[in-house]
Amino acid sequence: VGGTPALKKAIIGKFARENNLNYTPGQIIVGVGAKHVLFNALLASLDPGDEVIIPAPFWVSYPEMVTVAEGIPVIVQADAAQGFKMTALQLDAAITPKTKWLILNSPNNPTGAIYSPLELKELAEVLLRHPHVHIMTDDMYEHLRFDHVEYKTIAEVEPELFNRTLTVNGVSKAYAMTGWRIGYAGGDAELISAMNLIQGQSTTNPSSISQAAAVAALDGDQSCIDTMRHEYERRRNMMVEKLNECAGLQVTAPPGAFYLYVSCAGVIGKTTERGRTIFNEGDFVDYLLGEHNVATVPGEAFGLSPYFRVTFAVSDEDIIESCTRIKQACAGLTNKREEVA
Ligand code: PLP
């Protein structure tokens, strides 16, 4: 149910090799993508009313999964001024006797923010003072890091948190194997066993063909990761440059993942060619889609406004074409005040 012995062995090897984390097969589970693993972990562990701390901006699925499992998402705002990262003080203030989990996601979707080992150490110091809180770290974008930014996962930074941490990863991003649907986690054997129970009564095992493919990915030549990392870095730089040329938009190059979280504060209050006022990011995203045929995701879905998210995991052609359209869209906006004058 929870993974073939061969894949568990490959995962144990990956965690030891890349994260200095040493697991036994009973501490490993394989699911139908990291999404499935995270969902099972929450279902297996949350009682109604348990709280889960989620720093915003967050990946859209976390609060929804917590809600389905009858938990309460506790959102902590981490804005651009703090690098989109939650501080130790904020974490301390958010913890209550009902807190069950902290969900960390580094590199982050949608901002690409990466917690430094020092920042993780500061969070860990708070967590050590609150032994009832467990840590779910979603490390999906671990390998998509740019500018030689240092990276560590929290259980590596603070080994005393090892038993309280569920370290989640997968092959979707590092090996561009999203469609194969393989994700995995290492964690406390009792939790893993409860997750196995839920998986056994719901989806059973992930496809054995996909599991064999994941063994090949994890145990094979890893040079493809660096090749894609360089490629994404080049596309990131190109897209950041182009979007910063758009009137009213602003974005800094993210250290990780393959998204840009673009501030559109500068277009709020402006008017479109058809006379519609852009009151918020939702209006802007609608305008981009409806009048310029570019699909983006509004920041409200990720818990921090006014932003929208785009991805640079697309071809050069698509980056150039979409940025040209966004630039035209921004240039087409006028200041109401100017019009009145
Ligand atoms: N975690 C994060 C932060 C993601 O962005 C995604 C996919 O977009 C996932 C997990 C899900 O990955 P998987 O394809 O392994 O389910």
| pLDDT tens-digit profile, the chain (341 residues) | 999 999 999 999 999 999 999 999 999 999 999 999 999 999 999 999 999 999 999 999 999 999 999 999 999 999 999 999 999 999 999 999 999 999 999 999 999 999 999 999 999 999 999 999 999 999 999 999 999 999 999 999 999 999 999 999 999 999 999 999 999 999 999 999 999 999 999 999 999 999 999 999 999 999 999 999 999 999 999 999 999 999 999 999 999 999 999 999 999 999 999 999 999 999 999 999 999 999 999 999 999 999 999 999 999 999 999 999 999 999 999 996 444 44
How far apart are alpha carbons 4 and 1 in whole angstroms? 8
| Number of Cβ atoms within 10 Å of the Cβ of 246 | 21
Residue 35 Cα to ligand 1 middle (Å)? 6
Residue 181 Cα to ligand 1 middle (Å)? 10
How far apart are alpha carbons 239 and 149 in whole angstroms? 20
Residue 138 Cα to ligand 1 middle (Å)? 8
**Cβ < 6 Å from ligand 1: which residues?**
33-35, 59, 105, 109, 138, 140, 170, 172, 178, 183
pLDDT of 259 reads: 98
Residue ID of nearest Cα to ligand 1 atom 5: 109
Residue ID of nearest Cα to ligand 1 atom 11: 35
pLDDT of 341 reads: 41
CA distances 270 to 225, 239, 262, 277, 333, Å, are: 42, 24, 17, 6, 6
pLDDT of 340 reads: 46
First to last CA, the chain: 69
Give the residue from 93, 160, 99 showing the smallest Cα distance to 128: 160
On whether the CB atoms of residues 164 and 130 are closer than 8 A, the answer is no
Residue 256 Cα to ligand 1 middle (Å)? 14
| Number of Cβ atoms within 10 Å of the Cβ of 200 | 12
How many residues in the chain? 341
Ligand 1 pocket test, pick from 30, 35, 168, 203 with the greatest ligand atom count within 8 Å of Cβ, gives 35
Cα radius of gyration rounded to whole Å, the chain: 21
Residue 166 Cα to ligand 1 middle (Å)? 15
Residue 335 Cα to ligand 1 middle (Å)? 39
Q: Which helix (H) or strand (E) holds 287?
A: helix 281-292
pLDDT of 326 reads: 98
Q: For residue 73, is the peptide bond before it cis, meaning its omega torsion is within 30 degrees of 0?
A: no
CA distances 219 to 9, 21, 192, 213, Å, are: 10, 17, 23, 10
Ligand 1 pocket test, pick from 58, 61, 259 with the greatest ligand atom count within 8 Å of Cβ, gives 61
CA atoms within 13 A on the CB side of 115: 26
Residue 207 Cα to ligand 1 middle (Å)? 18
